Amino acid sequence: MSAVVVFIDQTEVSTSPGHPVLSKSSQELLTLARLAGEPVAAVAGEASDELAAALGGAGVSRVFASSQDELTGYLVAPKADFVAQVATAAGAAAVLVGNNFEGKEIAARVGIALNAGVISDAVGLTVADGAITVQKSVLAGSYTVEASATSAVSVISVKSNSVDAEPAAVPATAAVEQFTAEFAPASLGAKIIERTPKPASGRPDLSDARIVVAGGRGVDGNFGPVEELADVLGAAIGASRAATDAGWIEHSAQVGQTGKTVAPQLYISVGISGAIQQKAGMQTSKVIVAVNKDAESPVFEIADFGIVGDLFDVLPQATAEIKRRRG
């Protein structure tokens, strides 16, 4: 079985409470990697015993790890060099990375380094006769296409929530090898001169949350009702660009074309009109609920359950009702 290298970034670990040592999206990548071949982990940062144990549980027996300073001292390129070189060392037929901004860029550069086709925004993959076919959603989620790489190696960035993360049927013992990557001078051209951690929200990560409650211009500067509903549901908080531009909430909460693409089990859209750029980031959610006081809002076209009403009435009532039912 050919090796499938999965990039695992331990240099950027979520500070969310209860965050597992192996992130949910990494577990999803490993689940897919097992489908496509023998999973091999390329770990940037420290491969702790705890991580190695988690990787073993995900069926990984070979781990290549590097804590070289360049990986965190420069933007993207060194991580891509590392992943490409691990892929070569492991004789990989495929490389899987996450689909966040950095993941896509790593995929892009690994593609150049290995002269390999890159497929981003994957939502699933199938393997027949050793060849990988990737399902990806395009045109703001309005089409699903099947694509594949024609090169020896396939490089794929996979969206969160594309597969249910599962442990390996047969766990492995992960042997960690320290790997020393070589960096081209041009890879060390964009230096990170300052890095400020973002304050932890105490809520699930937006990208892989099961439930998202998102607020827009309609919240009028007050995310309180959105936060309270999110907290009783254990949800992450999202926002429209109007809300992030107004400075009511962090830019990292933005959902849409220029923010995050999310596909949770449940997306509750609150005081958001549903512009095409907003829909681009959320319309593949399983269930969509919309609360908006304008019955003509386009968001109702994609809502499974829509409430024409004032969010300041509807949300507090729903929050109180959930609390009441739970006693």
Ligand X SMILES: Cc1cc2nc3c(=O)[nH]c(=O)nc-3n(C[C@H](O)[C@H](O)[C@H](O)COP(=O)(O)OP(=O)(O)OC[C@H]3O[C@@H](n4cnc5c(N)ncnc54)[C@H](O)[C@@H]3O)c2cc1C
In angstroms, rounded to a whole number, what is the distance separating the alpha carbons of residues 19 and 204? 8
Q: Indicate which of ligand X, other proteins, none lies near residue 78 (CB less than 5 to 8 Å, by partner kind).
A: none
Q: Indicate which of other proteins, ligand X, none lies near residue 183 (CB less than 5 to 8 Å, by partner kind).
A: none
Shortest distance, CB of residue 34 to other proteins, whole angstroms?
23
At what angle are helices 101-114 and 77-90 packed, to 10 degrees? 50
Straight-line distance from the first to the last Cα atom of the chain, in angstroms, rounded to the nearest whole number: 53
| 120, β-bridge pairs | none
Q: How many residues bind other proteins (CB under 8 A)?
A: 98
Instruction: By CB under 6 A, tell whether 157 contacts ligand X.
Output: no
Instruction: By CB under 6 A, tell whether 262 contacts ligand X.
Output: no
Instruction: By CB under 6 A, tell whether 285 contacts ligand X.
Output: no
Q: Indicate which of ligand X, other proteins, none lies near residue 240 (CB less than 5 to 8 Å, by partner kind).
A: ligand X
- Phi and psi of 232, rounded to 5°? -70, -25
Answer for which of 56, 103, 216, 225 binds ligand X (CB under 6 A) is 216
Q: Indicate which of ligand X, other proteins, none lies near residue 243 (CB less than 5 to 8 Å, by partner kind).
A: ligand X
Shortest distance, CB of residue 120 to other proteins, whole angstroms?
5
Give every strand in the sheet of 92-98, ordered side by side.
Answer: 131-138, 117-128, 154-158, 92-98, 3-9, 38-44, 62-66, 175-178
The smaller minimum CB distance to other proteins, of residues 32 and 113, is found at 113
Answer for which of 125, 149, 226, 272 binds other proteins (CB under 8 A) is 149
Instruction: By CB under 6 A, tell whether 207 contacts ligand X.
Output: no
Nearest one of 184, 197, 12 to 97, comparing CA atoms: 12
What one-character DSSP code corresponds to residue 229?
A: H
In angstroms, rounded to a whole number, what is the distance separating the alpha carbons of residues 1 and 4? 9
Q: How many residues bind ligand X (CB under 6 A)?
A: 28
Amino acid at 176: V
Q: Indicate which of ligand X, other proteins, none lies near residue 151 (CB less than 5 to 8 Å, by partner kind).
A: other proteins
Distances (CA, A) of 202 to 199, 300, 322: 9, 30, 20
Give residues 42-61 in contact with other proteins (rule: CB under 8 A): none
The smaller minimum CB distance to ligand X, of residues 94 and 214, is found at 214
Nearest one of 180, 155, 176, 178 to 60, comparing CA atoms: 176
Instruction: By CB under 8 A, tell whether 180 contacts other proteins.
Output: no
Q: Which listed range, 29-37, 40-48, 57-65, 136-144, lies at the site for other proteins (CB under 8 A)?
A: 136-144
- Phi and psi of 148, rounded to 5°? -150, 160
Shortest distance, CB of residue 230 to ligand X, whole angstroms?
16
Scanning the structure block, which residue is given the tokens 């959320």?
A: 282
Q: Which listed range, 75-83, 89-97, 148-156, 249-257, lies at the site for ligand X (CB under 6 A)?
A: 249-257
Q: Which residues contact 59 (CB under 8 A, 6 or more apart)?
A: 30, 34, 39, 167, 168, 169, 170, 171, 172
Instruction: By CB under 8 A, tell whether 139 contacts other proteins.
Output: yes
Instruction: By CB under 6 A, tell whether 252 contacts ligand X.
Output: no
Binding residues for ligand X (CB under 6 A)? 216-218, 240-243, 254-259, 271-273, 275, 277-278, 281, 291-294, 297, 310-312
